[in-house]
Structure 1
Amino acid sequence: MCGIIGIVGKGDVAQRLVDGLRRLEYRGYDSAGIATLDNGKIERLRAEGKLINLDERLKKAPVRGPIGIGHTRWATHGGPTERNAHPHATERVAVVHNGIIENYAALKAELEQHQCRFETETDTEVVAHLVDHHLKQGMDPITAANAAFDRLEGAYALAVIFANENNLMVGVRQGTPLAVGYGDGEMYVASDSYALAPLTKKICFLEDGDRIRVNAGGVTIYNRDGKELSRPIRITAQSGETTGKGEYRHFMLKEIFEQPSVIGDTLNSFINPATREITLPADLVEMVAKASRLTLVACGTAFYACHVAKYWFEQIARIPVEIDVASEFRYREAPMPEGGVALFVSQSGETLDTLEALRYCKRQGQKIVSIVNTIESTIERESDMVLHTLAGPEIGVASTKAFTTQLTTLACLVLAAAAKKGAIDAKTVGAMSDSLRQLPSLVNSVLQDTAVTIEKLSREIAEARDVLYLGRGAMYPIALEGALKLKEISYIHAEGYAAGEMKHGPIALIDDKVPVVVLAPHDKLFEKTASNVQETIARGGQVLLFTDRDGLTQLGRGCRWSVRMPVSDAFVAPILYVIPVQLLAYHVAVAKGTDVDQPRNLAKSVTVE
């Protein structure tokens, strides 16, 4: 979602601000801007659309100064226009903001009575005017900023600079991440450590309620009452290298084809190849194995990873599981069981809905486990135990390799917990871990053997207005994920259903213009799925069947399209079968000419509710 970068430095900082924003592009945005102090005067450059538009403006009309703030905006209040782009400013103050100011309307009405004139539709402009109003009352910059922060309600991270203050930046974190970087004679702030990686390895992560006073020599952290606080400085493991597309046309395609490697890396971190044992922290495994109930919570694609894991935990480890989308979970005020464990899955580790659900579970006495891809995230820091997926930076907004490594990590946790609980014996653990270790090779074969076929048939799918996805058992969440991918990047309406639910409503949608994507490995549920496919074909549905050799022999003849998948153990089939639906979504989007890596209206890290 929105990204913040700030530098209190040496020499002109404008280009470095833009470079920092470039590292935040993966979060998703629709406008960008920077503000610097040139001889004490606030100078701004803003642009609608991609960062290249801002970069071109900077080249044509450079702004100078040793201090500045930058921002990539994902629109919440007000359209994605240059006028609404950050930084927002008055003559005295410039502000960048992630999050939402919930009481902005009341503050705006109050400020308008003091003759403040608003130029944008955003909630953020209120902050700039509120700080400016306090400056007019004779307050110094720090006091004015704190007086403004005291009035704000919502979730936000803010960085503020002031006219004629070349060595001062103030900021605050409340519910939305903000980090401070320590340089050599200069300091930095950013919404995540990835943006700071080329500038410094020394990072301090702020906590909710923290306020900061930054100058080139260091930072003072304090709370609302002015009491100074100490936060640990960490040496970040983030790489300063810029991730490129290499030989691939899009980041998403590159990340799809990286999956054999990153799944292998994740497996190698959890499975001992000599003993075939799952090697996870013993206290974590015991905690999960003894849980009276597991509560799995996530958003979007990560929620579908939880959905697959529910089948695994209950069938293999015999542990009862509840799953929920984070944005709804805490509002149900669910009673949590004594001895329960809550597990949270997030690529970014910063998703606000997931973080607030985590905090609810903590208050309810649950032990907290998180599975995250981004190191040093807020969710990681607030968890009792954490497992890292090893997907590496995922730049494409639509999650691919993060999803399969989440599933891989969850699969390893399931086996470890099942063995600890005695739900399966050592021989079964070894056989199932062998199935997992075969995954990189199987995924690679799918990528090599199906990509051309899927690209060709995707041109016909691209003509559809609606697409249905069907699956049974653990294939049902993969059908949901396949539909989500198609919606996200091609903008075609798609829905995923449990195959047995077709006759309870969705079958009314079937005609000869509706492609129906069926995920059906030849397993114990295949015959049931086959019946649903026949019902679809009988009504003119255009079936795209993903199945293995035996499935094709039995069902392939009646389908308009079919893609042969390798034979695999039912345990790992959900991870394998998501690969072709990722490829399908990608090639359909390319055929339609959409922005694959940064689809409209979407953000990589959703840090507002």
Structure 2
Amino acid sequence: MCGIVGGIAERNVAPILLEGLRRLEYRGYDSSGMALLDSEAELRRVRSLGKIKQLEQKIDVLAQPFAGQLGIAHTRWATHGIPAEHNAHPHICNHRVAVVHNGIIENYQSLKARQIEQGYRFTSETDTEVVAHAIYHYLAGAELSASPDNPASQSEQSIASQAGKGLFQAVIRAVADFEGAYALGVVTTDDPDTLVAARKGSPLVIGIGIGEHFIASDVSALLPVTQNFIFLEDGDVAQLTRDSVKIFSTSAGEWVERPVKQSSLNITAVELGEHRHYMHKEIFEQPQAVIDTLEGRITQEQVLVSSFGHQAETVFQKIERLHIIACGTSYHAGMVAKYWAEDIFRIPCQVEVASEFRYRNPVVENNTLFITISQSGETADTLAALQQIKAMRQSQSSEHAANETNVPELSGISTLTICNVAESSLTREADMVFLTHAGPEIGVASTKAFTTQLVALALLLTSIGKVKRTIPESRENLITNGLQKLPNLIQQALMHEQEIIDIAETFADKQHALFLGRGTMYPIAMEGALKLKEISYIHAEAYPAGELKHGPLALIDENMPVIAIAPLDDLLEKLKSNLQEVKARGGQMIVFEDERSDISSDSGFKVVKATTNVGRITAPITYNILLQLLSYHVALIKGTDVDQPRNLAKSVTVE
């Protein structure tokens, strides 16, 4: 992985592909490359370690212009093989086939061993090179070995025969060999008027133009040339020419039509404007993101249950428990929701990391609402967990029908996805979908996506509580009023930026930090620690403040900044005692407190006062804004790459 862009046109596509790569930089990468078919229909390739500008510099010094009307390009985030030019995409086989690839080919080692026996030579450590060799192998005329004893091979032969000849057929034959996930862009000198794309488990879109068509991992890469897109589905293989797009579904074994959808995004939505970094821009976009997420989903006094779909009220009436599955920042949003669900709405709630859920044998109880949360909607572990839940539901319901006395029916299991991308894999898989209208988030470290996820979860829990009558109407009114005030509360939190800039100086020579919180502020402390480590590379941990005496106090000294979140609630006095434990051991104490608190009277603490009248739903969101600003300004002091931190990718589409 990480970013694909390709195109076929009547004009030189090189500058279009370069701009597309720039727009995919936010996804994170360590190398980049481009391959074009030039005017002589010969493959030319340039690859570079490092940033896109280094690729551009290599192109600029070429003896001959690097141009062509058909090409593919890629930004790579290393999985198999170290970050190095020879591992960068595109990969080429025998000067005839060029491939870019996102995802992981899980059986690449067995394929590689077979290809070595066939005489293929490998020049990289990547799994992608087996893709290039396999496509070349079928393009060169190698036949599938069909036999009466090998019906799967006969089926593949039948599908391939429907696809015609040439590159398109070769790709269809090749993908039948692959296990794992892939998004592919393929070109060949044998067919200089065709670009082939394939998708399974990794996102890929087609941009529709007039006399030209494009592919990309993300619509943002193609906004300068089109706003009309086809979203490929798993098993799709697409043949693009200048004048047509044809799609064959290997899953269905037939040609299919996919709808063309117009993106509501525009170029300016992903521009920096007056901000130095995308992360800073996105932090300051949060008041509007909350307004957009709430629009049409609440009135002055109540939530609209229909925001979650026409079947929501029926589903919510039946559910008895919640199970939230997510990764990273989205997992922290789920942790906050657990406190809300059980404390305010009296609904049992379990929260789990997706990569753990999918590899254990969970007990799935009937009348459970499974909630998957993802910014991109393509997070591999979360998607796999959702598919696992659906498979378990289907399997156990079938068993119940066959043997009703012994097997419980799981027809009461429902799934709901909270996501920021309308045409993502998660939104297509879930029974119900709630879209957070955060707009494009370019910075790898999530900010406004997290905030809108919390807003979505607050609306969801209030809707469930309303339907199940676990909250009175007065509580619903209080929550909706608080959510309507939230954009202004966030705006007031952003006004503390200068104070936070001054506090950030504390971290100039620090390598470690400890975050403390109690109740809902514990997962907010976890999110604050994650942000700090993501973009400043400072080792940061979060603990429930009451756990200090059970181990973490051993770490406290003058070199360990301790960041505490101290809202004015019934746990404040307990938290004050925890902070005195830190002070007594010489720790540097930074406290984000309510204006009405009196922690600031202690001269040993550095304090930022938050806005008063923050409720139980809005408080975690408001305090998190302050921690986002802290991590951003510490990263500036440390001189790190804020928007594209090392080793990280925005959309994690592999395990």
TM-score w.r.t. length of structure 2: 0.89
Is 1:396 matched with 2:399? no
After superposition, residues 22-37 of structure 1 pair within 5 angstroms as 22-37=22-37
Paired residue type of 1:379: L
Q: Deviations over 1:445-471 (max 9, x none)?
A: 1111x2111111111123212100010
Q: 1:594 aligns with which of 640, 647, 654?
A: 640
Q: Deviations over 1:80-127 (max 9, x none)?
A: 222211101121100000001112222222222233221112111121
- How many pairs align? 606
Cα distance in 2 for partners of 1:223, 1:442 equals: 49
Please tell me whether the aligned partners of residues 37 and 164 of structure 1 are also in contact (alpha carbons under 8 angstroms): no
Q: Deviations over 1:364-422 (max 9, x none)?
A: 33311111112211111112111111111111110011111111111122222212211
Q: 1:471 aligns with which of 511, 517, 525?
A: 517
What is the match of residue 266 of structure 1? 293
What is the match of residue 128 of structure 1? 132
What is the match of residue 587 of structure 2? 541
Q: Helix, strand or coil: the match of 2:504?
A: helix
TM-score w.r.t. length of structure 1: 0.95
Q: Helix, strand or coil: the match of 1:562?
A: strand
After superposition, residues 190-589 of structure 1 pair within 5 angstroms as 190-224=216-250, 227-242=253-268, 243-273=270-300, 275-278=301-304, 280-281=307-308, 283-365=311-393, 366-448=413-495, 450-551=496-597, 553-554=598-599, 556-557=601-602, 559-567=604-612, 568-589=614-635
Distance 1:319 1:75, change over 3 A: same
Identity %: 48
Cα distance in 1 for partners of 2:387, 2:620 equals: 30
Please tell me whether the aligned partners of residues 34 and 46 of structure 1 are also in contact (alpha carbons under 8 angstroms): yes
Cα distance in 2 for partners of 1:151, 1:491 equals: 40
Q: Helix, strand or coil: the match of 2:287?
A: helix
Cα distance in 2 for partners of 1:112, 1:452 equals: 61
Q: Helix, strand or coil: the match of 2:104?
A: strand
Please tell me whether the aligned partners of residues 454 and 584 of structure 1 are also in contact (alpha carbons under 8 angstroms): yes
- Structure 1 runs (4+) deviating above 6 angstroms are none
Cα distance in 1 for partners of 2:78, 2:109 equals: 17
Q: Helix, strand or coil: the match of 1:331?
A: coil
Please tell me whether the aligned partners of residues 600 and 606 of structure 2 are also in contact (alpha carbons under 8 angstroms): no
Cα distance in 1 for partners of 2:189, 2:523 equals: 53
Q: 2:112 aligns with which of 101, 108, 115?
A: 108
Q: Between 514-523 and 414-423, report the one with greater CA deviation.
A: 414-423
After superposition, residues 76-91 of structure 1 pair within 5 angstroms as 76-90=79-93, 91=95
Q: 1:117 aligns with which of 110, 115, 121?
A: 121
Please tell me whether the aligned partners of residues 236 and 251 of structure 2 are also in contact (alpha carbons under 8 angstroms): no
Structure 2 stretches of 5 or more lacking a match?
144-165, 394-412
What is the match of residue 197 of structure 2? 171
- Give 1:226 deviation, angstroms: 8.7
Cα distance in 2 for partners of 1:169, 1:554 equals: 64
Q: 1:142 aligns with which of 156, 168, 188?
A: 168
Q: Helix, strand or coil: the match of 2:384?
A: helix
Paired residue type of 1:489: I
Paired residue type of 1:307: M
Please tell me whether the aligned partners of residues 286 and 417 of structure 1 are also in contact (alpha carbons under 8 angstroms): no
Q: Deviations over 1:542-561 (max 9, x none)?
A: 1111111232x146405431
After superposition, residues 2-17 of structure 1 pair within 5 angstroms as 2-17=2-17
Q: Helix, strand or coil: the match of 1:270?
A: coil
Q: Deviations over 1:119-178 (max 9, x none)?
A: 112111121122223344467433433332222111111111111411122232121112
Please tell me whether the aligned partners of residues 207 and 227 of structure 2 are also in contact (alpha carbons under 8 angstroms): yes
What is the match of residue 42 of structure 1? 43
Cα distance in 2 for partners of 1:540, 1:229 equals: 70
Q: Helix, strand or coil: the match of 1:312?
A: helix
- Give 1:182 deviation, angstroms: 2.6
Paired residue type of 2:82: G
Please tell me whether the aligned partners of residues 36 and 67 of structure 1 are also in contact (alpha carbons under 8 angstroms): yes
Cα distance in 2 for partners of 1:436, 1:141 equals: 54
Distance 1:155 1:556, change over 3 A: farther
Paired residue type of 1:404: T
Paired residue type of 1:306: G
Q: 2:651 aligns with which of 591, 605, 609?
A: 605
Please tell me whether the aligned partners of residues 8 and 213 of structure 2 are also in contact (alpha carbons under 8 angstroms): yes
Q: Helix, strand or coil: the match of 2:653?
A: coil
Paired residue type of 1:327: S
Distance 1:212 1:329, change over 3 A: same
- Give 1:59 deviation, angstroms: 3.5
Q: Deviations over 1:31-55 (max 9, x none)?
A: 1111111121111122221112223
Paired residue type of 1:36: L
